[in-house]
Chains A and B, each alone.
Chain A
Amino acid sequence: MPAIKEYQTVTSISGPLMLVEMVDEAKYGHIVDIEFGDGSIRHGQILQVENDKVLVQVFEGTRGIDVTNSTVRFLAKPLELAVSPDILGRVFNGLGEPKDDGPAIIPDKRMDINSKPINPYARNYPNEFIQTGISSIDGLNPLVRGQKLPIFSGAGLPHDQITAQIARQATILGEGKEEFAVVFAAMGITFEAAQFFIDDLHQTGAIERAVMFINLANDPAIERIATPRFALTAAEYLAYELDMHVLVILNDMTNYCEALREISAARKEVPGRRGYPGYLYTDLATIYERAGRIKGKKGSITMVPVLTMPEDDKTHPVPDLTGYITEGQIILSRPLHRKGISPPVDVLPSLSRLKDKGIGEGKTREDHADLYNQLYAAYARGKECQELATIMGEAALSEEDKKYMTFANKFEARYVSQDYYENRSIETTLDLGWELLSMFENAELKRIDVQLIEKYMPKFRKT
């Protein structure tokens, strides 16, 4: 290991950045400690090295740092997380340091928080259905083990309840129902929101299989850049070294992106859309692509990032670039929330891209794919009729249109809406779909195979 070198040559500070000069042997991406006159320590990471000039981002912010009394120590290594099985049940801060009153972690090993990219050839395709007990997810946008499926929410929408419900209820069907370990990363969310989630884990006892990294709204913003990476490093350790199936919840990615924007602005980089850096896509990909399954490994990482869409706009760079990377999205809708539908899942623009290989015979049920195709088609048409009715009044609708509108209303009230503590089995969800579709003639159910209609529908037809 190279010797650790110390410098007192900080020459300028601007925003979260600090310039140190006359340094030799600095390496890109490595970390530094900054010690103040009073002995307190902050942490930083090298963003650029040019000759003997080193640009450092300071995670805790630069407030109070002065150029004369600070000592910068070059630690000659990247950011690392100390891991051992004892991390389970523990709470860390956004920089991976214990935050609860538990003992220090005696590490089995230290892992670089920027793991190397998975070779695409080594991936195993996610195809095991996860029952979340939420119909609008299980029936229409099923989550599979190893998928990354974000929740696009908005300020004041109940994403915290939904993520808690998923963490509480998620199971793999079949013998010996396997339980998930939960890794929770809070980035800039309120104390209340974080505590709500942690309390829920306590109540179900899941806390013993959970690891938490907490950076709250009043914690240093730049730290958030590292927080999801710490969480994912813990998840990779649990999944690939301890063979666990891990559910990672990252809340809230919008705050993460804002921290990134702050650094970019301080570096005076050419800004991209809405001031976010041009490399936001690539940066987010290095987080989201850490979900998955790997051939020959027992464990897996399933990821549910949460983000709040500024002004509920899904073309905003954060949701937009997220959607371009993740394997679908669950979108929450404010109008549905106002109507009292909860969870207010906006079914039409929501999508799970990995559903097709996770459902069907032997996984959920043979009718699953046809059924959701038909529900989608009918609901899409019903929704159009709902909209037409608001513009022109119900009288303008044809009989057929009215029928579809009724369907859409029932569908929202019965299928989408459910209690946050209601855990529906996949059979219940599928049967509910048939029951709702029974208001149509068989001939209208063009998306469902005739044989499946004959097999499943009769039960639900009232004579």
Chain B
Amino acid sequence: MSETKQGRIVKVAGPVVVAEGMAGARMYDVVHVSKLNIIGEIVELHGDLASIQVYEETTGIGPGEPVVDTGAPLSVELGPGLIESIYDGIQRPLDLLVELEGERMSRGSALPGLNREKKWHFIPTVTNGTKVGPGDIIGEVQETMLVQHKIMVPIGVEGTLQRINEGDYTVVETIGVVVADDRTETELKLMQEWPVRNARQTIKRLAPNAILVTGQRVIDTFFPIAKGGTACVPGPFGAGKTVVQHQLAKWIDADIVVYVGCGERGNEMTDVLMEFPKLKDPRSGEPLMQRSVLIANTSNMPVAAREASVYTGITIAEYFRDMGYVVALMADSTSRWAEAMREISTRLEEMPAEEGYPAYLAARIAAFYERAGRVLCCGSPEREGALSIIGAVSPPGGDLSDSVVQATLHVVKVFWSLKGELAYKRHFPAIDWLTSYSFYKQYLKECFENKDQGLEMEELTTQAMSLLEQEAELLEIVRLVGAEALSPKDRLALETSRSIREDILHQNAFHKVDTYTSMDKQYEMLKTVLHFHKQALAAIETGVETAEIFKLPVREEIARAKYIPHEFVTKVAEIRDTIDEHIKQLHPSTV
């Protein structure tokens, strides 16, 4: 513990304040600014001058006012009570702030991240006398129906466990002690703290080896994300980044979801707050809110806290990963985070690199995504955790040469490129199938219990993708010489591609059935569309007119397959029989 330092303000320029008399303070120490006790963080030191990024509005503050160094870095509180919370960028609970201070954010509020009064029932999983070390799980708290919160020994604590008891505790009461070899005792609590700018420790990184099912067809079938993987969703305004992020937060097959609304709209967070308690997790049937943590630092909230919000989010996500869970973090939008960095950097009068962003932009982005991964967690029992990061990027004018997009593409393994033109046609999700990619495709086949089905799925996706590529070429020809130039087979390829686009890739997030498609149903749908293609091809070869084939009523059934609820997935398979029948009627001699 360093002694508390007090300096005084010499300069105020928007979100940056400079104070003198700060010799001895450390970089990234949290400070309290002015009598209002506004929270800030030291981001630059020059002699006894400290530049501070302030997490709240600075109107009314001026030179001469005090600055007090807390001597501690910006940290989050980790423990039971995180789930179902909604925090601002520096972990202040927004719901409690409304109760305490009304509907608008006032300054200098100091509410702790975790509720101090609430009692949690703690059940030890190890006995007194056990030798414990960092990361060891010593007990559990059933935090919500969906989340069993594992209580871990904090990093740096090692020794023999004593006086651990089952019981009801608040997060700050002592649940046991660890006696080190030199007889010093450390009290254990349900809560621990961690500085947000440092990644939490792990034993080692492992390569991702499994898909995280999202129920979104274009994603799962064509560009899947892995457990522990990283993805980026760039696109112009209105292209559907937020809807993709919300859809994933709702349906992704993760144990814990951390959603960071970073510099985006207030109503989007309200939307999540209203929807999630109502929506049921497709696997457990419990409300989705019971596995979610929300961080909302909207665009009109202070810029510096926006910069911190992604770190607050990722630290909470890492903490759950360390329990051995599969965690997914969505950050919407990382561009706003980068812009916050830029704004602070400008006020610090740093040398700008491209587009005014600081030179360290790419390094910060890379370091952030590096906190994702499948890992071997610290401590016993031995366990694996995974943390996936899905970041939205909002480039100016939708231009992908933007610095933030480029820096992100250097590090992520999945790219879902949202195209304005697709969104204007209301083709949603507007993920461009020709330029998007995923490095995790090879794990798709493992999603199926039946090995052959997995292999078949792999073939089907390859075939579908090559049809879509063929379509792009054929459309080019049509544009040059007209549709007349196409052979019947080419026309079929165009029709099948249209069917892939409209009946499979297109997915309405707001339709009660279409919003989520199980992996089995995705397989059946793709298989059915390609079955039609195969049968139609055979018919064409025997001389059937394409016009006759395209008119078949079964095509409407294929188009409506997306609205068949998962329970009736066999009905999707049955469409293939209808296809056979219809085609047979066109040309009885072929089958």
Contact = CB atoms under 8 A, between A and B. Distances in A.
Interface in B347-379: 352, 355-356
Contacts of B237: 320, 323-324
Contacts, number: 206
A382 B352 CA distance: 47
Interface in B102-131: 102-106
Contacts of B394: 324
A443 B556 contact: yes
B60 A78 contact: yes
B238 A28 contact: no
Contact of B397 (A51, A290, A320): A320
A152 B470 CA distance: 37
Contacts of B261: 120
A294 B267 CA distance: 10
Interface string A369-385: 10001001100100000
B526 interface: no
Interface stretch (B226-234, B319-327, B338-346, B435-443): B338-346
A79 B15 CA distance: 19
A286 interface: yes
Nearest to A294: B103
Given A329-B238, A373-B426, A122 B11 contact: no
B299 A325 contact: yes
A392 interface: yes
A409 to B, nearest CB: 18
Interface in A375-414: 376-377, 380, 388, 391-392, 396-398, 401
Nearest to B562: A446
Contact of A121 (B97, B502, B510): B97
Contact of B62 (A25, A351, A398): A25
Interface in A298-338: 315, 317, 320, 323-325, 327-329
B559 interface: yes
Contacts of B423: 351
Contact of A117 (B60, B301, B502): B301
A278 B346 contact: yes
B460 interface: no
Contacts of B452: none
A279 interface: yes
A270 B556 CA distance: 57
A124 B12 CA distance: 35
Interface residues of B, number: 74
Contacts of A12: none
B95 interface: yes
B104 to A, nearest CB: 4
A376 B269 contact: no
A324 to B, nearest CB: 4
Contacts of A171: none
B399 interface: yes
A124 B396 contact: no
B448 interface: no
Contacts of B296: 120-121
Contacts of A320: 236-237, 396-397
A125 interface: yes
Contact of B508 (A118, A296, A373): A373
A348 interface: yes
A51 B63 contact: yes
A388 B267 contact: no
A353 interface: yes
Nearest to A30: B60
A370 B94 CA distance: 37
A272 B346 CA distance: 11
Interface residues of A, number: 77
Contacts of B106: 116
Contact of B238 (A50, A351, A398): A351
A317 B423 CA distance: 20
B424 A28 contact: no
Nearest to A269: B346
Contact of A118 (B86, B103, B273, B420): B103
A354 B57 CA distance: 29
A292 B267 contact: yes
A289 interface: yes
B278 interface: no
B58 interface: yes
B541 to A, nearest CB: 23
A380 to B, nearest CB: 4
B98 A122 contact: yes
A463 interface: no
Given A278-B339, A373-B426, A50 B298 contact: no
A270 B396 contact: no
Given A51-B63, A118-B103, A125 B271 contact: yes
A282 B301 CA distance: 9
B482 interface: yes
A282 B299 contact: yes
A314 to B, nearest CB: 8
Contact of A114 (B59, B238, B298): B59
A7 interface: no
Given A28-B59, A114-B59, A270 B356 contact: yes
Contacts of A24: 63-64
A50 B11 contact: yes
B342 A119 contact: no
Contacts of A369: 510
Contact of A278 (B299, B343, B559): B343
11 contacts: A121-B270, A122-B104, A146-B267, A273-B355, A278-B342, A282-B263, A373-B426, A397-B483, A398-B483, A443-B556, A450-B560
Interface of B: 10-14, 18, 57-64, 86, 94-95, 97-98, 102-106, 236-238, 261, 263, 265-267, 269-271, 273-274, 296, 298-301, 303, 336, 339, 342-343, 346, 352, 355-356, 394, 396-399, 420, 423-426, 479, 482-484, 502, 508, 510, 553, 555-556, 559-560, 563
Given A50-B63, A278-B342, A278-B346, 17 more contacts: A27-B62, A29-B59, A114-B57, A121-B296, A122-B104, A125-B267, A269-B346, A272-B355, A278-B343, A278-B356, A282-B299, A320-B237, A325-B265, A328-B238, A380-B425, A380-B426, A443-B555
Q: Please list the 6 inter-chain residue pairs (A to B) with the smallest Cβ-Cβ separation, ordered nearest first.
A: A315-B397, A29-B59, A285-B299, A122-B103, A323-B237, A289-B300
